Amino acid sequence: MAQTEAMPAIEQPRIGKPGDPCTMVIFGASGDLTRRKLIPALYNLAKNELLSREFAVIGIARAPMSTEEYRKKVSEDIKQFATDKVDPDIWEWFIRRLNYLSGDMGDKGLYPRLKDLLDKVDQDHSTHGNHMYYLATAADFFGPTVEHLAEVGLMQQDAQRWRRVVIEKPFGHDLESARLLNQQLLRVAEEKQIYRIDHYLGKETVQNILALRFANGIFEPIWNRRYIDHIQISVAETVGVEKRGGYYDKAGALRDMVPNHIMQLISLSAMEPPVSFRADAVRDEQGKILHAIQPMSSEDVLIRTVRGQYGEGMVGGERVPAYRSEPGVPEDSKTETFVAMKLLIDNWRWADVPFYLRTGKHLPSRSTSIVIQFRRAPFVLFRDTPVENLMPNQLVLNIQPEEGISLRFAAKVPGPAMRLGAVNMNFEYTDYFGAIPSTGYERLLHDCMIGDATLFQRADMVEAGWCVVSPVLDVWRALPARNFPNYAAGTWGPKEAEDLLERDGRHWRDFEK
């Protein structure tokens, strides 16, 4: 029996229980996601004593390398991508648990070799036969890889050992492909073995939506159509498509962001209180919201959706090229880089409360937020005063780059006259709780190790998200945009996005102010 080596002692207190003993198999071990996010996240877990002492990693990629060569490569990468100073003792403990296997994921011969290596690693590090397979690969490999794992018995679990597979987005490119992928996976695995990861749910503020709503008696009683006028969800990026033009042109902003990230934010913001924080209890309520989103007719799509594509412009003081001039993008591309939509939820809590969402590339500032705008107070008391209008209260959940919560309310300006000014009460996580170095993947990887699927999408949630965007995709495919590019890089998208709210007498929140 292998000796269990103690993890080096650290000064800070542990902030949770360690994950189960397991071997994490990373398909795509030489890719950007692994070196920028996964390895630094695993190191952070080790530093916080959230990895089991009986833990190991097997990296799989095509590049011919020995385990020692791979360890050297990863040791160089961590210097660049670590979120905090690397403790040499903890890193040495971690790197001795790192193994490498060269092979092509499409080659069935890879999987018997993987099985043999897993047996050896289990003996060396006492990982109890628990396996977590992380598919940091192109989406085309998701289904076939899980099938190949099942063919050699590597998906088979019992009461003594578990087998889980983590799948990155995209979960299909439309409703039909999402259903086919789910069917392919569920033929060889149980739903409880499949962890569809969305790194946005690793953000503290996203997780804090549930705490804010259900742990505070002042918010939930007013979290409904009687008090809330509308909700805005913005996912703004200052970057363009960078070197991903070939991939992005096949996806576009709608597919890339709305069925996954934004639908998760909507469901957490709008869901009913779950009976508990168990994974399926939370996801049941999220699923109900996604199924309650009012389906759009073709006419609705034309009125309630906006698409845009950036032209050249100025971002961060630098001139950037138009989308059609990016590498890998056709000169006449009709792919959208900006989306705005108005959604309605058909249930008792949210009837007639619009949910406005927008996301885009090369916008003026990087910001992900949820804005809860409350109804205005009655003006009757202020008719004989200099006050001309009442500013509505806003509760803003800032998800990135600074994670925090802001509440805007009115207060009297000092002086003899009745004048009102807007006051913001701001809470930032780093001010109150200190900064915890994070890639955003730590919580999600740890949850997978302990079997908590709360922050992972279920098959029905994935399909419900695609049901919302499918009518939009159909109309946009039938009626290609004729006015692209229609917004300059460094602006907040096409004018039609402003018109979408102005027709309802509303405005987008100005994050630059």
Distances (CA, A) of 401 to 54, 137, 167, 398: 35, 26, 25, 8
Buried b (16+ CB within 10 A) or exposed e, 270-302: bbeebeeeebbebbbbbbbbbbbbeebeeebbe
**Which tokens hold the place of 366?**
């990087």
Rounded Cα gap, residues 35 and 184, in angstroms: 29
- 67 by Cβ neighbours in 10 Å (0-12 / 13-18 / 19+) ranks as middle
Q: Quick check: helix, strand or coil at residue 301?
A: helix
Amino acid, single-letter form, for residue 427: F
**Which tokens hold the place of 481?**
């945009």
173 is catalytic: no
Terminal C-alpha separation, the chain: 62
**Which tokens hold the place of 359?**
């996301």
Rounded Cα gap, residues 425 and 408, in angstroms: 6
SS (HEC) of 135-172: ECCCHHHHHHHHHHHHHCCCCCCECCECEEEEECCCCC
Interhelix angle 39-47/442-450, nearest 10 degrees:
70
Rounded Cα gap, residues 164 and 158, in angstroms: 12
Rounded Cα gap, residues 453 and 322, in angstroms: 40
Buried b (16+ CB within 10 A) or exposed e, 253-268: bbbbbbbbbbbbbbbb
Element (H, E) at 442: helix 442-450
Could you identify the residue written with the tokens 């207190």?
13
Q: Count CB atoms within 10 A of the CB of residue 16.
A: 12
SS (HEC) of 220-247: HHHCCCCCEEEEEEEEECCCCCCCCHHH
Instruction: Pick the closest to residue 234 from 438, 510, 513, 490 (CA basis).
Output: 510
Selecting among 230, 261, 362, 446, the annotated active-site residue is 261
Q: Count CB atoms within 10 A of the CB of residue 332.
A: 8
Rounded Cα gap, residues 69 and 73, in angstroms: 6
| Runs of H (alpha helix) within 326-441 | 429-433
Rounded Cα gap, residues 419 and 411, in angstroms: 8
Interhelix angle 175-188/142-151, nearest 10 degrees:
10
| Runs of H (alpha helix) within 305-441 | 429-433
By annotation, the residues acting in catalysis are 261
